Amino acid sequence: MTLKGERDMNSPLLSVSNVRKSFDGIFALREVNFKIFEGECIALVGENGAGKSTLMKILSGVWPVGKYDGEVHFNGKKLSLKSPVEGRKSGISIIHQELCLFPKLTVAENLFLTESYPYDGTPSNKLFERVRWNAIYERAQTLMNDLGFDVEARAIVEDLSVAKRQLVEIARAFHHKARLLILDEPTSALSQIEVEHLFQVIKRMKRKMTFIYISHKLDEVFELADRIIILRDGQTVKSLNKAETNAAEVIREMVGRSIKLTERTEKVIEGEPVISVKNLSHQLENNGKQILSEISFEVKPGEIFGISGLMGSGRSELLRSILGVQAGIRSGTISFQGKNVDWQSLSDAMADKVAFVPEDRKKEGLFLEHGIDFNLTISTLKENVIQGGILDLSSEKERVVRLIQQLGVKCSDPKSAVKVLSGGNQQKVLLGKVVALSPKVLMLDEPTRGVDVGAKEEIYEIIRQLAAQGMAVILVSSELPELLALSDRILVLREGKAMGELVNYKLTQEKIMSLAAGENNGSCS
């Protein structure tokens, strides 16, 4: 089936033309066009939210044909996948950031599980066919040895390191005769040595498979890829040959959208810091991984302090660590209004008037089945207590109406369930919940994720107003324009370390991105 060594430049292995995909009227992909040829290794890069994961979901069949516009041709035929299973059968395999293996089963079982019993190469559909274990282990070991992977076929997957689990996934894809293998941020959980080993594997496998490598890390991209395809705001903007480009150009193309930037004036905020963090480190308990190291900063009342960093840089973990809701061990000192504090839970922090808006509003923020009113007041019910925990519903209702007005939540009835609201309105409800607390420090993690442009502006305005009222705002965002539009200062993180603190005056996206992605490493080739 595989035409080894043949590389016909005229018929691409994968061609994507005019693919569009929208969610509730918001475009995730506007115009995606590219071609990939057999045996190439392509790096797909783009900012957070550029549409990479949506594109991957289309290629793997998570979004079935008909749920998007445009055409995808694979191996000369139109790709019309109806499910992820069909995607795998068609010859496209994806290795996700979170690995999709059965942790309690052996390597061999994971390799052959989706096959017909009894897994030893002789297909049978009888459910009670005896499983020939020895044959399975032998076959699995042979496969691993042939690929040069140092993995024991009898090992239980959860006992393996992340790097070895990735090898199992690669072997499985190979076994399923995948011709195109997509790796989504494969190195985010690997050590340096493991990364090098993975790269050797990919380089060796290049002859057998075609790769799409998705990564933020430009040094990796430049080491592996033959060609770099850049995705920005749901569009493929450039396809650059590695030999003819450099990291600076790639960064420019990644962020280079025209944005109306309100010209920031140099602004000095006076006053004593309300919160200051010194030498904060955070270590995970289970594997001892250092997710934050030696981070220090301070924020004054009325200031918006941005925190930037790529995925996995520890930007969300920093907020969670300060608030005491991140698993693991924290060290360093946090002082709030001049006193050292040691918050162990959000209730502790909230008692000191520090509020937090989590990143994943559906999972961590909202009570979806419950009404807007329920969501808005759940953190601040004390304000409506008559006595001994009994609520005054009419004063609560007045407060709800006031909050709905203040935040501009569009709804017909304050009792309607939050799940029917649009993303923007849901986010406003979430903001309203913490605004109701009138906090001194407001920590926002991705306050506009999945929110359309109009609602975004409204939310920005709310945040600016809150800061103008004297709140200290700490803003974590993956969107650089957002950080540039709002922040007074920006702390850039990379792999849990502070790479620099920039004053937002004449600051550019490129400058932040080069700190966050590590341009110095990438430009060598």
Give whichever of 2 and 416 is closer to another protein, judged by the CB atom. Answer: 416
394 binds another protein (CB under 8 A): yes
Task: Give the Cα separation of 92 and 68 in Å (integer).
Answer: 18
Write the DSSP symbol of residue 97: S
Write down the least CB distance from residue 282 to another protein, Å.
Answer: 18
Q: How many residues lie near another protein (CB under 8 A)?
A: 37
Q: Of 237, 368, 406, 511, which one interacts with another protein (CB under 8 A)?
A: 368
How many Å is the Cα radius of gyration of the chain? 25
Alpha-carbon separation of residue 380 from 208, 230, 437 (angstroms): 60, 46, 6
Give whichever of 98 and 413 is closer to another protein, judged by the CB atom. Answer: 413
450 binds another protein (CB under 8 A): no
Q: Which of residues 89-128 bind another protein (CB under 8 A)?
A: none
Q: Which stretch binds another protein (CB under 8 A): 23-31, 269-277, 393-401, 493-501?
A: 393-401
382 binds another protein (CB under 8 A): yes
Give whichever of 306 and 365 is closer to another protein, judged by the CB atom. Answer: 365
432 binds another protein (CB under 8 A): no
* Strand ranges in 132-232 using DSSP code E only, listed in sequence order: 180-184, 210-214, 227-232
| Angle of CA points 65, 71, 74, to nearest 5° | 90
Write down the least CB distance from residue 412 to another protein, Å.
Answer: 5
Q: Which uninterrupted H or E stretch holds 513?
A: helix 509-517
Closest CA to 92 of 67, 130, 58: 58
Q: Of 282, 433, 456, 489, which one interacts with another protein (CB under 8 A)?
A: 433
List CB contacts of 294: < 8 A, sequence separation 6 or more: 279, 280, 281, 332, 497, 498
- Which tokens in the block code for residue 456? 């975004």
Write down the least CB distance from residue 218 to another protein, Å.
Answer: 34
Q: Of 34, 137, 222, 374, which one interacts with another protein (CB under 8 A)?
A: 374
Write down the least CB distance from residue 139 to another protein, Å.
Answer: 40
Give whichever of 253 and 359 is closer to another protein, judged by the CB atom. Answer: 359
Cβ neighbourhood burial of 1 (10 Å; 0-12, 13-18, 19+): exposed
Write down the least CB distance from residue 285 to another protein, Å.
Answer: 16
Task: Give the Cα separation of 323 and 444 in Å (integer).
Answer: 12
Q: Which of residues 293-352 bind another protein (CB under 8 A)?
A: 325, 345-347, 350
24 binds another protein (CB under 8 A): no
Give whichever of 203 and 382 is closer to another protein, judged by the CB atom. Answer: 382
Q: What pairs with residue 445 in β-bridges? A: 476
DSSP one-letter string for 457-475: HHHHHHHHHHHHTT-EEEE
Closest CA to 324 of 346, 340, 339: 346
- Helices 162-175 and 133-147 sit at what angle, rounded to 10 degrees? 100
Instruction: Give the phi and the psi of residue 307 in degrees, each rounded to 5.
Output: -125, 125
Cβ neighbourhood burial of 125 (10 Å; 0-12, 13-18, 19+): exposed
Q: Of 113, 329, 401, 468, which one interacts with another protein (CB under 8 A)?
A: 401
Q: What pairs with residue 69 in β-bridges? A: 20
Write down the least CB distance from residue 384 to another protein, Å.
Answer: 9
List CB contacts of 481: < 8 A, sequence separation 6 or more: 257, 259, 261, 509
Write the DSSP symbol of residue 81: -
Q: Which stretch binds another protein (CB under 8 A): 40-48, 142-150, 283-291, 357-365?
A: 357-365
Write the DSSP symbol of residue 106: B
412 binds another protein (CB under 8 A): yes
Write down the least CB distance from residue 401 to another protein, Å.
Answer: 5
Task: Give the Cα separation of 87 and 119 in Å (integer).
Answer: 21
List CB contacts of 423: < 8 A, sequence separation 6 or more: 24, 450, 451, 452, 455
Q: Which uninterrupted H or E stretch holds 206?
A: none
Write down the least CB distance from residue 360 to another protein, Å.
Answer: 9
Task: Give the Cα separation of 443 and 354 in Å (integer).
Answer: 8
**Parallel, antiparallel, or unpaired: how do β-strands 227-232 and 41-45 relate?**
parallel
Give whichever of 296 and 379 is closer to another protein, judged by the CB atom. Answer: 379
Q: Which stretch binds another protein (CB under 8 A): 177-185, 294-302, 369-377, 464-472?
A: 369-377
414 binds another protein (CB under 8 A): yes
Give whichever of 41 and 421 is closer to another protein, judged by the CB atom. Answer: 421
Q: Which stretch binds another protein (CB under 8 A): 185-193, 333-341, 368-376, 499-507?
A: 368-376
Q: Of 192, 390, 454, 506, which one interacts with another protein (CB under 8 A)?
A: 390
Q: Of 379, 438, 523, 525, which one interacts with another protein (CB under 8 A)?
A: 379
| Residues at the contact surface with another protein, assessed by CB under 8 A | 325, 345-347, 350, 356, 358, 363-370, 374, 377-379, 381-382, 385, 389-391, 393-394, 397-398, 401-402, 405, 412-415, 433
